[in-house]
């Protein structure tokens, strides 16, 4: 019992009091999700600043759940003493909680509280969430990939996140079937590009600390320059495919998406200029000033697309 407040099912509470209490809790939940993305990904957090306020909140709520699932499989839970069997159960339990969250309007977990509200309003597809957790589950058991398992992993870990983001962007917005398919293709391509870039950037950590070799045909502890260049070429194909679809996005999301894409393009450029053997020793990043310059370029490009679309309409 909290002193000063009536308790019990029959206690008289006004509708305005209850609405205010839930509203405060939801706002605190959103702030908790914001802290997750702010602490774990400065680049992505910066790019969300260029989204409209509602879309920004929803993307952060989605990211927080994705980040927690990553922490379950990427060593944090293991560092807390969980055995492999316990990690599997922990991931299974979290998946069940995430899938159930849209039907519940109150959670003791603040991140799930924020995510559940977003998932309800944006009509997240359960199949996308299930595909994501299937890829997370592979991280608990698979240490190498063949072309088939790599494709499935990238789809579940990244492409469906792009599709979930698209559900956020288009919430309550009528979209033609043709335009919807165009945006889906772009979302999947950009998600795949982001994941492959992350694999190259995190090569040292993935192989040395987590014992994972994601790219098929590559050898743990070694990366030839020719292999790196081939991977870069594949990433650029994905980035170019996504680039052709940005104008179809609503302006409330377009500038933020372009900013994220340009940040990862800049990261790709830096990786391309870095000798392959150095990727096995250090994590490549983009200086803060360069990030700010990229955000400026994204704003200018996104606004220019809006002007062009108005003139063409």
Residue range 154-213, pLDDT digits in tens: 999 999 999 999 999 999 888 899 999 999 999 999 999 999 999 999 988 888 888 889
Sign of CA dihedral 86, 150, 231, 213: positive
Superfamily of 27-312 according to CATH = Farnesyl Diphosphate Synthase (1.10.600.10)
In this structure, is the dihedral angle defined by the CA atoms of residues 10, 11, 14 and 19, taken in order, positive or negative? negative
Look at the block and give the residue holding tokens 């003791």: 108
Q: Average per-residue pLDDT in the chain?
A: 89
* Dihedral (CA of 255, 261, 267, 272) sign: negative
Distance set, CA 142 to CA 195, 211, 214, 271 (Å): 17, 9, 9, 26
Q: Mind listing the pLDDT tens digit for each residue in 18-71?
A: 668 899 999 999 999 999 988 998 778 888 888 999 999 999 999 999 999 999
Residue 50 has what DSSP assignment?
T
Q: How far apart are CA 205 and CA 282, in angstroms?
A: 9
Report the distance separating Cα 31 and Cα 29, nearest Å: 5
Class of residue 149 by CB neighbours under 10 A (exposed 0-12, middle 13-18, buried 19+): middle
- Is the torsion defined by CA of 67, 38, 163, 106 positive or negative? positive
**What is the reported pTM?**
0.88
Instruction: State how far the alpha carbon of 26 is from the alpha carbons of 112, 245, 292, in Å.
Output: 10, 34, 31
pLDDT of res. 204: 84
Residue 83: CB atoms within 10 Å: 9
Stretch 121-141: mean pLDDT, rounded? Answer: 96
What residue segments make up the domains of the chain, in order of their start? 27-312
| C-alpha pair distances (Å), 225 with each of 57, 93, 201, 228 | 40, 42, 15, 5
- Burial annotation 176-194 (CB, 10 A radius, 16+ → b, else e): eeeeeebbebbbbbbbbbb
């Amino acid at each position: 019992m909290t002193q000063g407040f009536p308790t019990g099912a029959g206690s008289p509470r006004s509708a305005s009091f209850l609405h205010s209490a839930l509203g405060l809790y939801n706002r605190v939940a959103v702030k908790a999700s914001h802290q997750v993305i702010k602490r774990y990904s400065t680049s992505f957090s910066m790019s969300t600043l260029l989204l409209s306020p509602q879309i920004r909140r929803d993307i952060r709520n989605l990211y927080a759940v994705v980040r927690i699932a990553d922490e379950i499989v990427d060593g944090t839970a293991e560092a807390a003493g969980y055995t492999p069997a316990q990690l599997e159960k922990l991931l299974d339990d979290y998946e069940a909680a995430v899938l159930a969250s849209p039907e519940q309007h109150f959670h003791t977990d603040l991140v799930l509280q924020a995510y559940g509200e977003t998932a309800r309003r944006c009509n997240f597809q359960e199949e996308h969430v299930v595909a994501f957790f299937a890829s997370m589950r592979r991280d608990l058991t698979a240490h190498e990939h063949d072309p088939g398992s790599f494709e499935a992993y990238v789809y579940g870990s990244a492409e469906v996140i792009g599709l979930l983001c698209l559900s956020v962007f288009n919430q309550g917005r009528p979209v033609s079937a043709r335009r919807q398919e165009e945006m889906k293709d772009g979302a999947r391509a950009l998600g795949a590009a982001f994941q492959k870039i992350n694999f190259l950037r995190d090569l040292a950590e993935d192989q040395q600390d987590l014992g994972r070799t994601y790219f098929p045909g590559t050898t743990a502890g070694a990366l030839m320059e020719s292999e790196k260049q081939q991977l870069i070429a594949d990433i650029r194909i994905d980035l170019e495919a996504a680039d052709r679809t940005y104008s179809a996005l609503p302006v409330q999301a377009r500038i933020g998406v372009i900013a994220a894409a340009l940040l990862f393009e800049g990261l790709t450029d830096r990786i391309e200029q870095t000798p392959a053997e150095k990727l096995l020793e250090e994590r490549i990043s983009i200086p803060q000033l360069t990030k700010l310059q990229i955000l400026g370029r994204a704003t200018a490009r996104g606004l220019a697309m809006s002007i062009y679309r108005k003139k063409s309409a």
